[in-house]
């Protein structure tokens, strides 16, 4: 039976992206729409959304709508855009006072208002469309007040009486905390008692925590991360709230959009390959090395890195381990990334110290990300924590062996290679230390020196299937289970 699903998210690729959240929402919407469901999505019309590249038009009955949040008054209109590669409509909330900024995320004092407005607008557009979603699917802190709003602010409206909410946690490291002084902005009136009272007394409001408390189901993006976040080491203060939800917290591994990430069809590559044509991969490696000025012969192992430069990604380990690794092995490294300034500086310094061995491109480049995935021999992801991670899954498909720390989705998608049986897809290490990363890299390079093992491991990886056709099904099962369930109280 087709379901009516309302998606509310701060990023949807290719319209607005800073990381994997966008890849996942974009691909999941396409999958659900392709499977025959009625999916309507809500996203801010950020300045960076390239409307000219989309089939889009203003929605005439969603024009100049007032929105009140405590003392703040806004007006917004809505532009409907077709999500490329699907027939699904993304409703873009056009409110320049909130979204006409240089970046998708800001540190401006009204950051909480920007995403409360998105969440509220989603409900109010559903009302104006007379559309009753069976599922409200919210993502991360930005839209985590959706479940509580469904049970309070909009509970009077019969349209939402059968609506069940899902919150997906893509990263519990970002919780969107704001000051309790702004409590009126939530517009909760007499339902204010439902807010976390200890936090309020301590002077703050934690959006993500309220999503965990009130969503009918909470999912996260890998089974291992679902276990990890119940512990103080990974829960970032939310472990208790998560444990209290028991079985309602579920880990569903992300999928990969192979329409975008496939070495047989990749639109950024001049030549294509598959498991039977790995010689093409070697040509791409030579071409990328030449372009980046790397001294990288056929025997040199090329390690790729594509990441947001944030502590989460284990950049510290890379910076500590690479100087010795580059000096003592026949190894070169291609890095594309942007993020925290000290990391950008440290990588630029590494490039100066090893000009022919390490190339660092500071910034965001979709094209270079595809090239690095295709041309590298191995791919490094030594994450401190990783809810899912997509690049290791892309690497597997490109025959680029992942060397990863065994945490979160990395542990769930990469299988340690066993030379005795020839099974496994990569190299994993447990301890979060530069020494452990270096040992893992050493083990990978030993395997690289033996082409029979290396090719076997790369081909094992290429045969893995993380398509949304597989990974999307558990979401539909969850939606169906929830849609048939009576309302949970608050
Ligand atoms: P996260 O969402 O935590 O950043 P993921 O592995 O889930 O990590 O997804 C990251 C996504 O962002 C991938 O599609 C990756 O290719 C892309 N990405 C990250 N940094 C860059 C960059 N500097 N240039 C191009 N793409 C990038
Ligand atoms: C987050 C996580 C990443 C995950 C992505 C998509 O940004 O850091 O691990 O793959 O969301 O779910």
Which pLDDT value is given to residue 311? 97
pLDDT in tens, 21-50: 999 999 999 999 999 999 999 999 999 999
Q: Which of 368, 398, 402 lies closest to 386 in space, CA to CA?
A: 402
pLDDT in tens, 232-263: 999 999 999 999 999 999 999 999 999 999 99
Instruction: Note the ligand closest to the C-alpha atom of 28.
Output: 2
What would the mean pLDDT of 47-70 be, rounded to a whole number?
97
* Nearest ligand 2 atom, CA 19: 7
Ligand 2 centroid to Cα of residue 20, in Å, is: 5
Is residue 442 located within the same domain as residue 478? no
Residues, the chain, total? 490
Whether 440 is covered by a domain: the verdict is: yes
Please return the burial class of 229, using the count of CB atoms within 10 Å of its CB with bins 0-12, 13-18 and 19+: buried
Residue 490 banded pLDDT, cuts 50, 70, 90 = low
Give the SS3 label for residue 132. Answer: coil
Sign of CA dihedral 452, 457, 460, 461: negative
- Show Cβ contacts of residue 182 under 8 Å, excluding neighbours closer than 6 positions: 70, 112, 113, 205
Residue 484 banded pLDDT, cuts 50, 70, 90 = confident
Evaluate: CB of 409 within 6 angstroms of ligand 1: no
Whether 149 is covered by a domain: the verdict is: yes
Which pLDDT value is given to residue 474? 97
Is residue 455 located within the same domain as residue 478? no
Q: What is the DSSP letter of 411?
A: H
* Nearest ligand 1 atom, CA 386: 3
Residue to mutate, 10, 389, 392, ligand 2, most ligand atoms under 8 Å from C-beta: 389
Evaluate if residue 485 carries a pLDDT over 90: no
| CATH label of the domain that carries residue 385 | 3.40.50.2000
What would the mean pLDDT of 65-76 be, rounded to a whole number?
98
Whether 490 is covered by a domain: the verdict is: no
Number of domains into which the chain is organized? 2
* Nearest ligand 2 atom, CA 173: 8
Instruction: Note the ligand closest to the C-alpha atom of 385.
Output: 2
Residue to mutate, 13, 254, 381, 412, ligand 2, most ligand atoms under 8 Å from C-beta: 254
What would the mean pLDDT of 4-30 be, rounded to a whole number?
97
Which pLDDT value is given to residue 119? 99
Evaluate if residue 382 carries a pLDDT over 80: yes
Is residue 165 located within the same domain as residue 302? no
Is residue 251 located within the same domain as residue 290? no
Contact 8, 84 (CB under 8 A): no
Is residue 88 located within the same domain as residue 214? yes
Structure tokens at 226: 């679902």
Whether 269 is covered by a domain: the verdict is: no
Whether 270 is covered by a domain: the verdict is: no
Is residue 478 located within the same domain as residue 460? no
Is residue 423 located within the same domain as residue 475? no
Ligand 2 centroid to Cα of residue 310, in Å, is: 13
Mean pLDDT estimate for the chain: 97
Evaluate: CB of 221 within 6 angstroms of ligand 2: yes
Residue 412 banded pLDDT, cuts 50, 70, 90 = very high
Evaluate if residue 489 carries a pLDDT over 60: no
Q: Tell me which residue has tokens 């472990």.
A: 239
* Nearest ligand 2 atom, CA 390: 10
Is residue 141 located within the same domain as residue 241? yes
Is residue 19 located within the same domain as residue 69? yes
Q: Which of 22, 29, 138 lies closest to 468 in space, CA to CA?
A: 29
Ligand 2 centroid to Cα of residue 477, in Å, is: 22
Evaluate: CB of 390 within 6 angstroms of ligand 2: yes
The alpha helices in 221-298, defined as continuous H runs, are 223-228, 232-235, 239-244, 278-292
Evaluate if residue 61 carries a pLDDT over 70: yes
Is residue 305 located within the same domain as residue 165? no
Give the SS3 label for residue 387. Answer: coil
pLDDT in tens, 263-292: 999 999 999 999 999 999 999 999 999 999
Whether 268 is covered by a domain: the verdict is: no
Evaluate: CB of 307 within 6 angstroms of ligand 2: no
Contact 178, 151 (CB under 8 A): no
Which pLDDT value is given to residue 486? 65
Evaluate: CB of 11 within 6 angstroms of ligand 2: no
What would the mean pLDDT of 333-339 be, rounded to a whole number?
97
Domain span at 230: 4-255+470-483
Instruction: Note the ligand closest to the C-alpha atom of 257.
Output: 1
Evaluate: CB of 24 within 6 angstroms of ligand 2: yes
Evaluate: CB of 126 within 6 angstroms of ligand 2: no
Ligand 1 centroid to Cα of residue 405, in Å, is: 17
Whether 265 is covered by a domain: the verdict is: no
Whether 263 is covered by a domain: the verdict is: no
Residue to mutate, 9, 170, 218, 309, ligand 2, most ligand atoms under 8 Å from C-beta: 170
Is residue 354 located within the same domain as residue 371? yes
Q: Tell me which residue has tokens 């009136």.
A: 189
What would the mean pLDDT of 401-426 be, rounded to a whole number?
98
Is residue 207 located within the same domain as residue 353? no
Evaluate: CB of 13 within 6 angstroms of ligand 1: no
Q: Which of 178, 181, 160 lies closest to 106 in space, CA to CA?
A: 178
Evaluate: CB of 395 within 6 angstroms of ligand 1: no
């Amino acid at each position: 039976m087709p379901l009516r699903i309302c998606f509310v998210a701060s990023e949807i690729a290719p319209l607005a992206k800073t990381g994997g959240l966008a890849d996942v929402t974009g691909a999941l919407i396409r999958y659900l729409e392709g499977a025959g469901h009625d999916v309507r999505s809500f996203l801010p019309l950020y300045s960076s959304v390239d409307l000219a590249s989309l089939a889009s038009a203003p929605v005439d009955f969603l024009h100049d709508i007032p929105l009140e949040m405590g003392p703040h008054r806004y007006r917004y209109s809505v532009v409907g855009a077709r999500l490329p590669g699907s027939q699904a409509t993304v409703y873009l909330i056009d409110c320049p006072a909130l979204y006409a900024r240089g970046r998708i995320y800001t540190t401006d004092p009204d950051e909480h208002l920007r995403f409360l407005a998105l969440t509220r607008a989603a409900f109010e557009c559903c009302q104006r469309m007379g559309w009753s979603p069976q599922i409200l699917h919210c993502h991360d802190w930005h839209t985590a007040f959706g479940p509580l709003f469904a049970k309070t602010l909009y509970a009077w409206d019969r349209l939402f009486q059968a609506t069940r909410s899902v919150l997906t946690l893509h990263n519990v490291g970002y919780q969107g905390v704001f000051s309790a002084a702004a409590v009126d902005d939530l517009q909760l009136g007499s339902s204010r008692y439902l807010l976390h009272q200890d936090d309020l007394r301590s002077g703050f409001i934690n959006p993500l925590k309220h999503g965990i408390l009130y969503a009918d189901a909470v999912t996260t993006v890998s089974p291992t991360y679902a276990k990890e976040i119940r512990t103080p080491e990974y829960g970032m203060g939310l472990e208790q709230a998560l444990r209290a939800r028991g079985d309602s917290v579920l880990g569903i591994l992300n999928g990969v959009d192979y329409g975008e990430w496939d070495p047989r069809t990749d639109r950024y590559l001049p030549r294509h390959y598959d498991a039977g044509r790995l010689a093409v991969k070697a040509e791409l490696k030579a071409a990328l090395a030449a372009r980046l000025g790397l001294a990288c012969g056929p025997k040199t192992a090329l390690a790729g890195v594509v990441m947001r430069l944030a502590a989460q990604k284990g950049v510290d380990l890379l910076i500590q381990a690479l100087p010795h690794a580059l000096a003592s092995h026949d190894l070169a490294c291609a890095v594309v990334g942007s993020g925290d300034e000290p990391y950008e500086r440290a990588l630029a310094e590494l490039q100066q110290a090893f000009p022919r061995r390490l190339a660092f491109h500071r910034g965001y480049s979709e094209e270079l990300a595809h090239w690095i995935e295709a041309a590298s021999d191995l791919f490094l992801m030594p994450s401190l924590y990783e809810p899912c991670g997509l690049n290791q899954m892309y690497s597997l498909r490109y025959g680029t062996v992942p060397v990863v720390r065994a945490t979160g989705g990395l542990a769930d998608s990469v299988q340690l290679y066993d030379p005795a049986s020839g099974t496994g897809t990569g190299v994993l290490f447990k301890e979060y230390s530069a020494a452990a990363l270096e040992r893992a890299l050493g083990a990978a390079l030993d395997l690289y020196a033996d082409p029979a093992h290396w090719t076997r491991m790369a081909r094992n990886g290429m045969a893995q299937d993380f398509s949304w056709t597989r990974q999307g099904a558990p979401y539909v099962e969850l939606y169906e289970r929830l849609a048939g369930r009576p309302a949970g109280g608050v």
